[in-house]
Amino acid sequence: MQISHLARAVLAVACTVGSFVPLAARADYPDRPISLIVGYPAGGSVDLTARLFGEELAKKLGQSVVIENVGGAGGTIGAQRASRAQPDGYTLLVGSSNEMAIAAMVNPAVKYDGAKDFTALGVIASQPLLLTASKSSGVTSAAQYLDKLRGQSPGTYNFGSSGVGTSLHLAGEMVNQSTGTHAEHVPYRGVAPLVTDLMSGQLTFGVLVLSSGLPQVRGDKVVALGVTEKKRSPVAPDIPALAETPGFENVDINVWFALYGPAGLPQPVAAKLRAAVADVLKSEEFRRKMQDAGGELAESGLDPVRFQATETAKYAALVKAARIEAP
């Protein structure tokens, strides 16, 4: 059969365009293991979320998902590596609010943009934070916290977090702003030394991720004053939300986890990964495992780009009001 000159021209153009489509977009993606970067050491809330999510993602994609812990600088080293990876869908990142939305606001050393340098693929889950008190403080409720801090001069009381500009730090600043009180921030290099000082009474108050604080509360080593989301957590329904106490009504903050690829991810690959995230969020087994770990799955159909923009604006307002700067 003869092919017309027009048909040959169309075919030639199609072949030329097709030659510039990344291989991952044309192949049966994924056809080899996927590396899932976590910007923290093993054992933390981001790492645990990534491992549970990675197991489910592997089932949905029919390919192995290998966790790569790239710890350091509050998650930013791992995020930077992911941003510079080949945009083929084989290097992904489970990022949290800390390194994806807050870090660049408080640390000029961060050289990536959490929105522009990544392809947002889906919000996975979130965890509330927990305002705690040392046993020696004598404070056992959010109302008593207010009674103790009101009328006191700045610096009289303090609260600890896992570092400057983390979600934990911003939660403490949100409590300050919402209640009109002032507890001085004490940054720690991680949660372990923070908990140690809380238990010994060297630190009066502390903000912890729920999964980190709950074992200490259940072990009667620290006192839970309330979770930082508007509603109680199904993981610990006996712990009130801070917002239930007059004066704390505007406290609403958490730490969230989302899946990202580098910027420029081919549309077919991004679409397949977004569909896989949606399928994982429908898994009751995954929901149960995340709840056991202190987390709650993201809402179905949540737009990750719009979500991150809204969260970033909230954090920016907190950072500006509290005048937070890198140490």
Q: Is residue 222 part of a domain?
A: yes
Q: Where a domain ends, among 214, 244, 274?
A: 244
Structural domain contains residue 180: yes
**Domain encompassing residue 221:** 128-244
The structural domain count of the chain equals: 2
235 and 141 in a common domain: yes
Q: How far apart are CA 63 and CA 32, in angstroms?
A: 7
Question: In the predicted model, what is the mean pLDDT of the chain?
Answer: 90
Residues 120 and 190 in one domain: no
In a domain, 29, yes or no: no
pLDDT tens string 231-241: 999 989 999 99
Residue 201: pLDDT over 60: yes
Q: Is there a single domain that holds both residue 229 and residue 258?
A: no
pLDDT of residue 327: 67
Distance CA 172, CA 193 (A): 17
CATH number at residue 276: 3.40.190.150
Domain of 156: which CATH number? 3.40.190.10
The answer to whether 192 and 210 have CB atoms below 8 angstroms apart is: no
* Nearest by Cα to 38 from 69, 12, 63: 69
For residue 171, count CB atoms less than 10 angstroms from its CB and return exposed for 0-12, middle for 13-18, buried for 19 or more: buried
Residue 17 has pLDDT above 70, yes or no: no
**Per the domain annotation, does 18 fall within a domain?**
no
Q: Is 172 exposed, middle or buried (0-12, 13-18, 19+ CB in 10 A)?
A: buried
Q: Are residues 231 and 150 in the same domain?
A: yes
Considering the domain boundaries, does residue 47 fall inside one? yes
> Per-residue pLDDT tens for 20-70?
444 444 458 999 999 999 998 888 889 999 999 999 999 999 999 999 999
How many C-beta atoms lie closer than 10 Å to residue 134's C-beta?
21
So what's the pLDDT on residue 256?
97
8 Å CB contact between 103 and 70: no
| Domain stops at, among 184, 212, 244 | 244
